[in-house]
Structure 1
């Protein structure tokens, strides 16, 4: 699925690009939509680290010629491994070489593995490579995977997530109107509406890069971002609210990205509004220090 296009994925993609250039054929990254889990076990869709749009951008940055999104249906889930390879890889994509992770599974009930893919490659005339999974240089027991990164994000450990992704974890969405409380407190916020299944970090306050995504020249601003329910005001709805530093602009309706650089603190309930405001000033100072110019 290449969710996150993390450092492990990048190794596979770079190898595929290398093989494609050597054979003078296009390099292609293939993914499915919707996520197979949603079809096989409805309601079990994992949180998404990247939108399809963001995934396509990251893949293109790695030099890939074609980003191919195939529909995943109930019929797809029931295809035996050999049928999957013949109909999709051979007949539809005309593959010359296939690069996958050593834990790659395919076909009905994930019965196919790299050994079967290699055998089918010999039968149908393509080369199959199973690459070793990438592990952390500081902790060999940690394998860089989408599952691991989702766990980091869910725990609010955005530094560990960045180490595995090779860049900060990003939320993308549209700025929508909130209840205006931030403006009343002297900290007007841009409230982000994110797509369904987005992997949102644990409740807390973070230092982020606020990226304006419209147009060819993306602007990067600094922000202190609150994720949570605003417990001081007995809020119930979980929100992502960004106070953009040193800028007084109206961002409503714009598509933006939030790159999570560091976690500043846990979400807290304050006994008074004055106590909250004092802490918000400290959060802004810490965000400014961590994000630099």
Structure 2
């Protein structure tokens, strides 16, 4: 009896130890202990653009909703349809207001996506705080985001994370750079479009071959077009020298000279195309 009780108790202890070792492998994330006013202020800052839009819509509906509905009811149907068509055309055409609204919408989306990506990548300090997003601004190729790294975080925590951020933001590429003045400031450039992709640049240096098909322009033709112009060949022959009774002919080597002007300097080329200006 005592032996059996000891075996059972030892099995229970080993089972508890096994369960304890299994729970120790679970990752735990600490949450920052912030007061309620701080949480409210951070939430208002994070959702400020959404709150502004909701406030404007509520103001228009409450203050001017009756006037707008009365105006459309007093107008005939064709005039209301014409106003809707004009308003839709103004929204979908390229203008300053449309560009501003589109850029701000993408900035808001990018800021939320970057914050969600930082949360999923566990870019947190030991207190559980994420990097503070200072702001998101629009550029010609996309958006740029400025991060203020909390104590315990640095730009090294974002190394090799550019592709992950680009995938999270639905962008082409992402470039992460650290500020040279302050190590706590990190810049993330989100590139969504290439401004030169729709522009066809024609070089004036290829006027003779720009209209030709690519198959007709061979490498030899391009090199011949870019090579120097052929110059006249000069030959120098000396008469044979006579000495005493015997005649000895001395034939000088023929030297082909080609002169090409380059930046005001004369270059003399030999038979093999070597520069022999220093020997002439």
TM score, norm. by length of structure 2: 0.16
- Structure number with higher strand proportion: 1
- Structure number with higher helix proportion: 2
Highest RCO, 1 vs 2 (Cα 8 Å, sep ≥ 6): 1
